[in-house]
Structure 1
Amino acid sequence: MASALSLGLAACSYDPVDEDGAAAAGSEDVSSDTLSALIASGDDLDTVKDLMNDAGLADAFDGNAPYTVFAPTDTAFDALGEDFDGGEARPALLAILREHIVPGYLTNDDIAAAIERADGSVEMQTMGGTMLTFTSDGEGVRVTTTGGEMSAMLPAGMRGANGVVYPVETVLKDFDPQT
């Protein structure tokens, strides 16, 4: 397997906008919006937006450091069930959000190229410490946690000035709701 570090370093060098805020050559689908703005305007991402604001990540996601966020949809959070409803579940949900953030600006092409170079799969560590494994299933990229939680990434991420947001259909966290 390829090193998560090599994938991250290659992705961090990507500069999607120039100093005037215009999209760089070959990046027509890049918005000048920050990650915070992309998440705030994303469909079915209200839970991630609220958690981002609660965790104080909105400021970080408005900054210059690049991140890639695999943002569970509201439907994915709803599927967690009653153990994750209400104010007492907020700390667990905030911890879960960290498991969906990786450093660097990772486009679909970056991830696909890393998978190809690594003969089929590549790993990356989240800000929360979980290892995510990326594989190609012929129709797109799949991301899996060490515990086996799996989600198909949507075909295109929302690319912004300082990162990429991929809405995912599953909460990617190995967790025990009782802890």
Structure 2
Amino acid sequence: MTKRTILTALAAGGMLALTACGSDSAEDAEASGEVGSETLAALVEEHEQLSTTAEILGDTGLQNVFDGNAPYTIFAPTDDAFDALDIPLDGEEAQAARVAILREHIVPGFLTRDDIVGAIESGGGSVEMQTMGSNTLTFSEDGGTLLVASSDGTEARVAGAVMSGANGSVFPIDGVLKSTDEPG
């Protein structure tokens, strides 16, 4: 078995364990246990609860990064999570803050739910991963729910089905994770 085949099999297994939250083409692929051919940018764009993340990607030019070939895993805050945030996200002056916020939610590499759960089990109940920013995310499980905590103690839960595409995975989460190094 090739490395790509093993990763594809792991991704498919992880997606079967989660429930679908819509009927988008990406989510249809997920429900059938397939890794979709869409890019991360397309997966975010298609998800009805990630419109704020999609808007930030487009406004800041990050969409081009996630349309590329490099693999990433995005822990994408839902629209409700952004609505609860007390940092302004509108206007040109907030562009740097928007990029900084998203950078703290991105991990290099193509990770599936099974990859993270396996690392949690091997790590004695939790596992840490460095983001593309200055944040360290700590993952754990509570009754089958995947939890993620920021280095500043902010916590979120995976809030919906994980979507896997051609260049990575998107995990919708119910909170915005902020590093202690970030203002606000």
Which category of TM-score, normalised to the shorter sequence, fits these structures? 0.7 to 0.9
How far apart are 1:155 and its partner, in Å? 5.2
Runs of 4+ in 1 over 4 A off after TM superposition: 23-26
Amino acid across the alignment from 1:15: R
Which residue number in structure 2 is paired with residue 86 of structure 1?
90
Partners of 2:160 and 2:80 lie apart in 1 by: 18
String of CA shifts for 1:35-61, please: whole Å, max 9, x gaps: 011011011111111111222221221
1:49–1:112: structure 2 CA closer, same or farther, 3 Å change rule?
A: same
Amino acid across the alignment from 2:183: D
Which residue number in structure 2 is paired with residue 129 of structure 1?
134
Partners of 2:134 and 2:64 lie apart in 1 by: 21
Partners of 2:142 and 2:9 lie apart in 1 by: 30
1:93–1:24: structure 2 CA closer, same or farther, 3 Å change rule?
A: closer
How far apart are 1:139 and its partner, in Å? 2.5
Does 1:95 find its partner at 2:84? no
How far apart are 1:14 and its partner, in Å? 5.6
Greater displacement, 135-144 / 164-173:
135-144
1:68–1:165: structure 2 CA closer, same or farther, 3 Å change rule?
A: same
Partners of 1:16 and 1:103 lie apart in 2 by: 19
Match of 2:51 among 46, 51, 58: 46
Aligned residues: 159
TM-score w.r.t. the length of structure 2 is 0.79
String of CA shifts for 1:42-88, please: whole Å, max 9, x gaps: 1111111111122222122111111000001111111013x314313
String of CA shifts for 1:78-105, please: whole Å, max 9, x gaps: 1013x31431323212210110100011
8 A contact 1:14–1:105 mirrored in 2: no
Secondary structure in 2 matching 1:128: coil
Secondary structure in 2 matching 1:164: strand
1:147–1:107: structure 2 CA closer, same or farther, 3 Å change rule?
A: same
1:16–1:166: structure 2 CA closer, same or farther, 3 Å change rule?
A: farther
> RMSD over aligned Cα, in angstroms?
2.2
Which residue number in structure 2 is paired with residue 176 of structure 1?
183
Which of 1 and 2 has higher RCO (CA within 8 Å, sep 6+)? 1
Which residue number in structure 2 is paired with residue 5 of structure 1?
none
Does 1:15 find its partner at 2:14? no
Which residue number in structure 2 is paired with residue 116 of structure 1?
121
How far apart are 1:25 and its partner, in Å? 5.2
Structure 1 gap segments, 5+ residues each: 1-12, 18-22
TM-score w.r.t. the length of structure 1 is 0.81
Partners of 1:70 and 1:25 lie apart in 2 by: 21
Which residue number in structure 1 is paired with residue 60 of structure 2?
55
How far apart are 1:109 and its partner, in Å? 0.3
